[in-house]
Amino acid sequence: MSWAQAILVARGLSRGWGGVCSTALTGAPFSQVPPQAPRGLHCSAAAHNPDSSLVPRPPEPPRRPVKALAVHEELFRPALDGARDKANFVQAVQNFAEYNVHKRGHVDFIYLALRKMRQYGVERDLSVYNLLLDVFPKEVFRPRNIFHSIFLHYPRQQECGIAVLEQMENHGVMPNKETEFLLLQIFGRKSYPMLKLVRMKLWFTRFKNINPFPVPRDLPQDPVDLASLALRHMEPDLSARVTTYQMPLPKDSPDTMDPAETHIVGIQSPEQQSALARHDPARPIFVEGPFSLWLRDKCVYYHILRADLLPPEKREVEEIPEEWNLYYPMQLDLAYGRSSWDDYEFNIDEVEEGPVFAICVAGAHDQATLAKWIQGLQETNPALARIPVVFRLSGSSGELLASSDLEEPPPPPPEGQEEEDTQQRQQQGQS
C-alpha cells in the first residue's frame, strides 16, 4: 500500500500534477484506486458496500475546484417544463461537447454526470454510459510504451473511467462491444478501466442468475401488488392462493391513518388449509409478527399464523389403512427395515418447528387489523372458528421509522426481547 502510494505520489509529483497528488494524499476518492493497483490483475476492486461508488460525493468537494463544477452544473439545469429524462441528459452531454471543444474539465463533467444520472432516471441505460465514455478524448491517454503501461498512465482519467464502469456495475449494466471499443480507444488495452471491463464481462454473467429466487427489477408500487409478490416469494407451494382480504382506501381519502382501511393480503396453500382443519381445537394458534422481508430496496412486514409443535406423544402416527390401495400393497409385511449401510441420509440435526398455517402482509401491525385477517381466513377455514387465536405481536418490529414518527417513544427493545425469551421458554416447556 505505502509502496504503491509512494510510487504514485512520486509520479504525480514528477509530472507536476499537484492536484491529483493532493487528493491522493487526502485520500477521499483516489485512495480507492491504489489498493487495486498493486494487486494488479489477480483481484478485483476492493469490496465495498453497494451504495458506495467511486464518484466523489457532492457534499465533500471543498477540496475540488468548485468553479469547474459550477460551470458544468448549469448544463444540467432543468428544462423549461422541468422534465428530466434521457433526452435532456443526452442533450446536456452533447452540449458539453459542443461548448467545450477541447474537452477541458471533462473528468469533472463525467463525475457530475454520473451523479446526475439517477435524477434523470438513466442509471440503467447502457447507451448513456457509452455516451459518457465518449466524452473522453480519444488516443490521448493510451500508453505509448511499456513504462506507461507499467505505471498508472493518466491516473485521474483512468480513475474516472473506472468510476463510470463502477456505476454501471452497481446498477447491473453489462458493458457491450461499444463500451469495450471506446475504452480501447481512450485508454488502450493495458489499462485499468479495460481490466475492470474484462472482469465485469467475466463475472456479470456468472452472478447475474445466482439468486435462485429472483426478484423482479422493478417492484410494483401498489402495496397490494407488492404484498402479493412478497407472499409468493415466501411461499414455496405453487398451489397456494393469494387472497386480498381488504383493499386500502384511496390515498386522498381523509383518514388514511385509520388502521381499518389498510390493505390485508394473505396467502394459504391447500396443504396448510387441511393442516389447519386437522388442528386440535384445544390447542391455541398464534398470530406472530411483524417480521421483515426485503425485496430489493423495499421492506415488507408480514405476520404468520402458526401453532406450537405437538409434543411427540400426541402426534398421530400416520398409519396405512388396511384397505387402501385397490391394486398393490402399500406396505410389506416384513420384520426388518432399511439396512444401515444403505441409508444415505446425512445425519442432520433438524430443529422442528410448529406448522405455519398462513401468512399475511398488512398495512398496519395492530391486533385490530390482524383480527380482520383471521376473520377473512375463517371463510375458507371453518375450523378456525373453534380454535383460540392468540396475538403475539412483538412491539419491536425492527421497522424503520420515518423521521416524523421519531417523536413517539420507540418501544423499549429489552421488553420485546424478554417477551420473545419467555415465548421460547414456553415453547421449550411444551415441546
Residues at the interface with other proteins (CB under 8 A)? 174, 176, 201, 204-205, 208-209, 236, 238, 321, 323-339, 342
Question: Whole-angstrom Cα distance, residue 324 to residue 318?
Answer: 13
Closest CB 308 distance from other proteins, rounded Å: 28
Helix (H, G, I), strand (E, B) or coil at 126: helix
Query: Judged by CB, which is closer to other proteins: 130, or 158?
Result: 130
Question: Whole-angstrom Cα distance, residue 305 to residue 274?
Answer: 14
Characterize 312-333 residue by residue with b for buried, 16 or more Cβ atoms within 10 angstroms of its Cβ, and e for exposed.
eeeeeeeeeeeeeeeeeeeeee
Query: Judged by CB, which is closer to other proteins: 205, or 430?
Result: 205
Residues in contact with 184: Cβ distance below 8 Å, sequence separation at least 6, in sequence order? 194
Query: Judged by CB, which is closer to other proteins: 343, or 421?
Result: 343
Query: Judged by CB, which is closer to other proteins: 172, or 398?
Result: 172
Closest CB 133 distance from other proteins, rounded Å: 17
Radius of gyration of the chain (CA): 30
Question: Whole-angstrom Cα distance, residue 130 to residue 81?
Answer: 27
Query: Which grid cell is 212?
Result: 435462485
Question: Whole-angstrom Cα distance, residue 232 to residue 237?
Answer: 9
Closest CB 345 distance from other proteins, rounded Å: 11
Closest CB 306 distance from other proteins, rounded Å: 23
Helix (H, G, I), strand (E, B) or coil at 398: coil
Query: Judged by CB, which is closer to other proteins: 75, or 183?
Result: 183
Query: Judged by CB, which is closer to other proteins: 250, or 321?
Result: 321
Closest CB 330 distance from other proteins, rounded Å: 7
Closest CB 343 distance from other proteins, rounded Å: 9
**Count of Cβ atoms closer than 10 Å to residue 426 Cβ:** 11
Closest CB 180 distance from other proteins, rounded Å: 12
Q: Which residues pair with 295 in a beta bridge?
A: 298
Q: Which residues pair with 360 in a beta bridge?
A: 266, 303
Helix (H, G, I), strand (E, B) or coil at 300: strand
C-alpha separations of 23 from 65, 170, 351, 402, 417 in Å: 12, 24, 54, 37, 47
Return the closest-CA partner of residue 117 out of 95, 72, 70, 84. Answer: 84
Query: Judged by CB, which is closer to other proteins: 44, or 244?
Result: 44
Closest CB 236 distance from other proteins, rounded Å: 8
State the Cα angle at 155 between 195 and 98, rounded to 5°.
95
